[in-house]
């Protein structure tokens, strides 16, 4: 038997360097995610069914059997910590599965606010409107085009993508 055991996961571990000794005191089993998490995440993680029972989205190693440290992103998807650090080193801060921000980006959004304010658009583009989808909150919005980035009016994130360039929804456009 391992020094740590979860009978729901059927998980045994002798490596107590992860401080999992005591089980229930430091860890809880999430039935929807199908795995044990630190109690720190008990009230704050987003459940993703079978979160640990798939491959790392970067290196494709099966996560549940992995001996590497694993990180749970804000969206609930899981990834090896070293893969997440490698993504950050290459300035990629979005979940590779769902594209939500993988960390707190509020400081970056403030800097981008300053850059957008300091970069006025030529008169030709000042009234150009585009439709965007926010990768963080899922809202679809019609916003002013800017060459640097488009900000979600709902959650103030710049983690957005253009969905269509016309000022009207696709259903309202002429099909001629």
Q: What is the pLDDT of residue 31?
A: 77
Q: Examine the pLDDT at 111 and tell me if it is beyond 70.
A: yes
Residues 6+ apart with CB under 8 A from 18: none
Q: Examine the pLDDT at 4 and tell me if it is beyond 90.
A: no
Residues 6+ apart with CB under 8 A from 143: 129, 130, 131, 132, 150, 151, 152, 153
> What string of DSSP letters covers 16-37?
GGG--TTGGGTEEEETTTTEEE
* H or E element in which residue 6 lies: strand 4-6
Of the CATH numbers 2.20.28.10, 2.40.40.20, 3.90.1150.10, 3.30.750.24, which one belongs to the domain with range 105-162? 2.20.28.10
Q: What is the pLDDT of residue 173?
A: 41
- 17 pLDDT band, cuts 50/70/90, is low
Pairing label, strands 35-38, 129-134:
unpaired
Summarize pLDDT for 138-171 with one digit per residue, the tens.
999 999 999 999 999 999 999 999 997 554 444 4
Q: What 3-state DSSP class applies to 144?
A: strand
Q: What is the pLDDT of residue 32?
A: 75
Q: Examine the pLDDT at 90 and tell me if it is beyond 90.
A: yes
Q: What is the pLDDT of residue 172?
A: 43
Residue 72 near residue 51 (C-beta atoms within 8 A)? yes
Q: What is the CA 33 to chain-centroid distance, rounded?
A: 16
Q: What are the two backbone dihedrals, phi and then psi, of residue 4, each rounded to the nearest 5 degrees?
A: -125, 135
- 175 pLDDT band, cuts 50/70/90, is very low
CA distance 3 to 12: 7
Q: What is the pLDDT of residue 147?
A: 93
- Mean pLDDT, rounded, for 17-30: 61
Summarize pLDDT for 26-83 with one digit per residue, the tens.
777 777 777 777 777 777 777 777 777 889 999 999 988 888 988 888 888 999 999 9
Q: What is the pLDDT of residue 51?
A: 76
CA distance 101 to 92: 9
Q: What is the pLDDT of residue 36?
A: 74
Q: Which long-range contacts (CB under 8 A, 24 or more apart) does 103-107 make?
A: 103/74, 105/157, 105/158, 105/159
* Domain boundaries, given as residue ranges, for the chain: 1-47, 52-103, 105-162
Q: Examine the pLDDT at 20 and tell me if it is beyond 70.
A: no
CA distance 32 to 60: 22
Q: Report the CATH number of the 52-103 domain.
A: 3.30.40.10
Does the model's pTM come out above 0.75?
Answer: no
Q: What is the pLDDT of residue 164?
A: 77
């Amino acid at each position: 038997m391992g020094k740590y055991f979860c009978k729901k996961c059927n998980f045994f571990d002798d490596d107590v360097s992860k401080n999992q000794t005591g089980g229930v005191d430091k860890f809880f089993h999430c039935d929807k995610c199908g795995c044990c998490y630190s109690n720190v995440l008990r009230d704050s993680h987003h459940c993703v069914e079978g979160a640990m029972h798939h491959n790392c989205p970067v290196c494709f190693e099966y996560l549940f059997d992995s001996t590497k440290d694993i990180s749970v992103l804000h969206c609930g998807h899981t990834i090896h910590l070293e893969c997440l650090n490698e993504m950050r080193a290459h300035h990629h801060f979005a979940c590779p599965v769902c594209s939500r921000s993988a960390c707190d980006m509020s400081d970056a959004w403030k800097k981008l606010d300053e850059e957008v304010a300091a970069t006025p658009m030529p008169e030709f583009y000042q009234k150009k409107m585009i439709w965007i989808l926010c990768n963080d909150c899922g809202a679809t919005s019609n916003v002013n085009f800017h060459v640097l980035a488009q900000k979600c009016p709902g959650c103030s994130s710049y983690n957005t993508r253009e969905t269509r360039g016309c000022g009207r929804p696709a259903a309202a456009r002429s099909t001629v």
